[in-house]
Chains A and B, each alone.
Chain A
């Protein structure tokens, strides 16, 4: 009894130490000192005597784990308080019946308790929509207002015609960085640039497959530099160079042939020559008509329109039909 009284601190120390892993030496120390006195009286210590005898024994007093926190969670609790920051998966704090792993012997995937697979993978439990809203609210004080003049898409496009896109990657793995984050895409509509006819055609030719005819957009994608900032600068540089080069006219551009033309032009085409020839042969002998007069006739103009449509838009039944009408009018059938 006296021994017990004289070592109350030691016994309590012993109990506490039992629950902490790794503090092995203290336990063994305290055990050696007070084992005789404590053993006879306390029910808890009787257990530990049976459990851990030798020097290599386990935790002394394995305390019962209390009920997990999930039991006490309400449905409308504040989740941001449970997972305020990025943390590993704790089965006792996440109230979801998650299963993960290979089902051994045709069974089911193992439960979440003590499941290493769940702990290994990155989780985003700290980034629920509520949490993000809170982040936004907190960041708002550092933001400026959206300019009130830019309230529609058209106005935005008008004042800021160049659109730059790049991707951010959120990674909760071993490394935070993703190499794809350096890619920068620059989109601009050619109608918003100050280009004349020749410059526009040249730019489209220089852009090759980067130009989309349907949306009139030039898309420049750069990924040759390691940093996003560098790629952005390179894309802007490319755009500037394209613009200035397309305004220049080189000496060899004079040699552009009909095959290089983007659109079919009726003037100086074989079609025009044929029509002229035919009309000249058709007119009665002696009447001298000027070429311009002949070409200026409405029937010829209509023929020209249908030819342009046929060649530029492609051949369809409808276009052919209109062509037929034009030819009939030309020859007065």
Chain B
């Protein structure tokens, strides 16, 4: 049941195969059992149950609010939630309970969605690993998947060695882990430089960064206002489209949202891709890209070509400047946005009371981690009168060049760009923390960042498992406000590649639905890997019904309470 798609679980709720309360309780107990993933910062159990109860009443009266009524969702802990602590994984906001809901949160609730809790992240969303928050790192559920463990066994690693757990990517790692581990059906992330797409790629999820201005930022605690977009993490493209349909549209509280009508985001089934032109930006073929990832990328391109799409190499010449440009613009806005955290109106306040200035200094020193403080410092440096033209103004010009690169490519007839999302599959935590946050962020956002500079829609679509048994995703980038078209192509791609479902041991043991899926998934995976040369193999009718989100079985999953012990916790 927990592995169903939104449409399926919605149908199950309507047909009474499961009640909102049952669904909510199942998710809540799974959250408890997967606590070691550290996906959630706050679990709003009482509130969630109350929402589920209300939803149940609505279903009983036949007055369901919408497609999300009764469906458990999770929200990254940098979206304001009325009455629920919102921390941004920072000491600065520990204990801060917003008095209002972010527009996107309100829209989910208005649809009857059940908000389970707030998910973990890097402090103030500054990071690419979900490792740098005060609540500790998030663990990638794939660390505990059968697929990964078996591969490790084959390569003579000890399967149970626990120190090798993997990062989720970030900064929306908590949301990614929550969806990936089936604790909720969809989650909100935020995406400033790749923070939704990156963890989606590493956790085998669909991660959508909508066009800037399509979805309201009101209530999203900002990282970079001019690049932030609420992101959507789901297990399939259709689910992302459904959530986007709920969230998209003008918000009078966010002046940067479009005033044009949007949606509906109902995705047609694309049968013919021959009119499609796929661009492959040559500058994305960087030396740091793992050879395996590169291989998947070119196979994906071949797949499009083999189905009749026009695949062309294109150039985005200013790509290499995007990291440094982003560094300046991001830190400048961070310096500005973080100025409000002074301990006066809300949030952490130190005990120093010598003077207002001393209080500010101590509050901010105590409240922010090194990463945040470092960015504030750089940002203020770039904004100094004598530096402004040399850094900020230049960076803005470069940003314009980067955005123009995309415009030119799309004007040349390209419909969608196909790129890798990450340099490689997920790395172990111990590996990841060898480099500092800045280095990591600079490396990991390389394929995702420029999209934010240009405000374009982009989506990570999981493609296959790597040789390590870990998810690999590719990024599709569309024209501004062509989110629907982008998702339609993404859906076609998803259908073609049949990404396998994660096999979490316990779920396999206890759930016939999952075991069936996973067995099939595993079979298909093995076949995929053995046939990696022949991408035309994908998309044949045989496996079309075996996708992770497509099942007709609504039998309930019984999850043993000792779920965690199987993972050595």
* Bound together: no
On A, residues with C-beta under 8 Å from B are none
On B, residues with C-beta under 8 Å from A are none
